[in-house]
Structure 1
Amino acid sequence: MKRIVLASNNAGKVREFQRLFAPLEIEIVPQGELGVPEAEEPYFTFIENALTKARHAARITGLPALADDSGICVAALGGAPGVFSARFAGEPKSDARNNEKLLTELAGQEDRRAWYYAALVLVRHADDPQPLIADGTCHGYVLEAAHGDGGFGYDPLFLIPHYNRTAAQLTSEEKGLISHRGKALAALIAKLREEGL
C-alpha cells in the first residue's frame, strides 16, 4: 500500500480522506503522526495555500503529500471571508464568533448568495513541478439564523437549495454527494486513476 501524508490534523478530514482513498489501497497518514508542524498559509488564494501546505509536508517526510484549503465565499462581501474563513472573527478560532460576524456583515443585505470552495493539491515529492490539483464548489445562501446542529463552521447558516436544508441539517451521506470537498476529492481520485495509481 502506498502512503500519502495529509497536511492536516483535523480528525474529520482525516477520516474522510482515509475512507475515500482506501479503495485505491493508499494509506492516508495525518502529518501530526509524522512530526510535521502546521505550515504557514500566507496567500490570498486557496490553491496557493494548499500547495504550500503539501510541499511543506512532503519536504519534511519525504512522502507524497495531500493538502486542502477551503472556506466560504459570500457574493455581497466580494468573496470574503474566503481563505480567512476559519479566522474570520480573529484568534482563537471560533465557529460561533465567525458565524456571528458573518451575520453582522450581511445585516440588511438582500444578496445572500454564497458558496463553499475547496482546493486539493497532491504533490508526489516536495519539488513536484506538476502537482495534481482538483477543486469543488457547493452553492447556496446564507440564512439570517442558524438551523441544524450537524456539521461545523458555517454549516448551520448555509442553505443548500437542492435539499432546502442547511449543510448542518444534512446526513453525512447527503453532504458527501454535494459538498465542495466531496466534489474535489472525486475529481482528484479520477486524476489518480488516470495516472494508474
Structure 2
Amino acid sequence: MQIVHSNRRDIGDQAWVGEDAWVVGDARVRENASVRDNAFVGDRTDISGTARVDGNASVFGDATVSGTARISGDAEISGTASVSGSAWVYEEAAIGDASSIDGNSRICGRAKIGGHARVDEFAIVSDRCRIGDRATVRGHARVGDSAIVSGSAVVDGRARIHGHAEVAGAAQIGDDAVISGNARVAGQAVVRDDQKVDSGTRA
C-alpha cells in the first residue's frame, strides 16, 4: 500500500487498499470501498460505498466513485466526474470534466466522456466513441464504432449509434432507431421508432 500525503483517517476502517495501489494527496477511500492492484487514486477524489478501483485505473482531480461502481483496466476518471450506481468503466475509457456515469451503464473500449455529458441506466458506450457537451445517453442505447454524441442531444430507448455517425445539437434519437455509416443527425431532428439513417445529414 502506497499512501503519500494522505492522512490515514481518510482511509476508512472497512476500506481496503492493496499492497501495490497508490492513494495520494487528499484522496479519501471510505466505507467498504477498495483500491487494488496497481490502481492510483489522488488529488481530492472520494471513493465510497462498495466501489472498486483496480487494474491500472486512475482516479484523480475532484472525481467521485460511489455505490457499487467499478473502475478497472487502464480507465481514467478525472475533473469533477462522478461514477456511481453499478456503472463499470474499463478498457482505457476516459471520463472527465463534469460528466456523470450512473445506473448499470458500461463505458469501455477507449471511449471518452466529457463536458457535462451523462450516461445512465443500461447504456453502453464503447469503441472510441466520444460523448460530450451536455449530451445524454440512457435507456438501453448503444453507442459504438467511433460515433460522436454532442450538444444537448439525447439518445435513449434501444437506439444504436455506430459507424462513425454523429448526433449533435438538440437531436432526439430513441426507440429502436439506428444512426450509422457516417450519417449526421443534428439541430432539432427527431429519429424514433425503427427509423434508420445511414448516410447524409438530417437536421
Name the structure with the higher strand share.
2
Instruction: Point out the structure with the larger helix share.
Output: 1
TM score, norm. by length of structure 1:
0.20
Bigger relative contact order (CA 8 A; separation at least 6): 1
Which structure has the greater CA radius of gyration? Answer: 2
Under a length normalisation based on structure 2, what TM-score does the superposition of the two structures give? 0.20
